[in-house]
Structure 1
Amino acid sequence: MKFGILINEGPYTHQASDSAYQFTKAALEKGHEIFRVFFYHDGVNNGTRLTVPPQDDRNVVTRWSELAKQYQLDLVLCVAAAQRRGLLDENEAKRNGKDAHNIAEGFRISGLGQLIEAGIQADRLVVFGD
């Protein structure tokens, strides 16, 4: 089965990100395909490279980055939601006159069309968070 994943909540504040990660990892291990993981609303906070959780806590961002690398996942942050929350890739930082970018490895910024495409291409779109 081919899944699209939508994550609407940020890490460390809601179980949605952890649940989505566990679901995605389990689906991949069982041989299913993940067409795309789309991060929307506060979910875009899963893609910042500036989080520094305590050593005895899980690193949600690193887990997503490593899973993306292992399985060539397409991790997409909604551009509008990301910009509202101060998340910029190198191109968006330049375009908006900012002197830094903070998107973690394996993530990219794009528009809502990527979410629509995931819903069309996937057999199921699974939503985590409100």
Structure 2
Amino acid sequence: MKFAIALFAPAHLPSSRRALRFAEAVIAGGHEIVRLFFYQDGVHSASANTVSAQDEVDLPAEWRAFVEQQRLDAVVCIAAALRRGVLNEEEAQRYQKPAANLGAPWELSGLGQLHEANQLADRLICFGGH
């Protein structure tokens, strides 16, 4: 089965951990993830500047490692990211900001990528949100 996974919650909420564990189970079960899409506060899971408390799991680091190891298509919504200060090098330069905090393996793109993922997948699973 092909899955698209959308994460709406920030890294410090339990739904982000549940999303990661679900994604790991999808791969372990022999299924495919056509795209991970980070939207709304979920974009913080892709930020290189997120620091987890010493007694907490570093979910942004775990997401990064999982995406890299599995070579997944991991998209961060550009509009949501810009509003929350999550910028790649190109956007940091464009908006004359002092630093970027989003790099590989993440890709900034539009909401159309979520729509496309929904078309390509058998199931769209969403975590978090309002």
Same fold (TM over 0.5): yes
Question: TM-score, with normalisation over the residues of structure 1?
Answer: 0.94
C-alpha distance in structure 2 between counterparts of 1:73 and 1:55, whole Å? 28
**Aligned counterpart, 1:84:** 83
Letter in 2 for 1:35: V
Structure 1 residue 2 corresponds to structure 2 residue 2: yes
Whole-Å Cα distance in 2 between the matches of residues 104 and 91 of structure 1? 10
Contact 1:61 1:104 in 2 (8 A): no
In structure 2, the CA distance between the partners of 1:74 and 1:15, relative to structure 1 (3 Å rule), is: same
Identity of aligned residues (%): 44
Question: Normalising to structure 2: TM-score of the pair?
Answer: 0.94
Q: Which runs of 5+ in 1 are unaligned?
A: none
Task: Look up the equivalent residue of 1:44 and give its one-letter code.
Answer: V
Matched-pair contact (CA < 8 Å) for 1:36–1:74: yes
Q: RMSD across aligned C-alpha pairs, in angstroms?
A: 1.1
1:30-109 alignment runs, 5 A limit: 30-109=29-108
Paired residue type of 2:23: T
One-letter amino acid of the counterpart of residue 121, structure 2: A
Flag structure 2 segments of 5+ consecutive residues without an equivalent.
none
Matches of 1:69 and 1:47, distance apart in 2 = 12
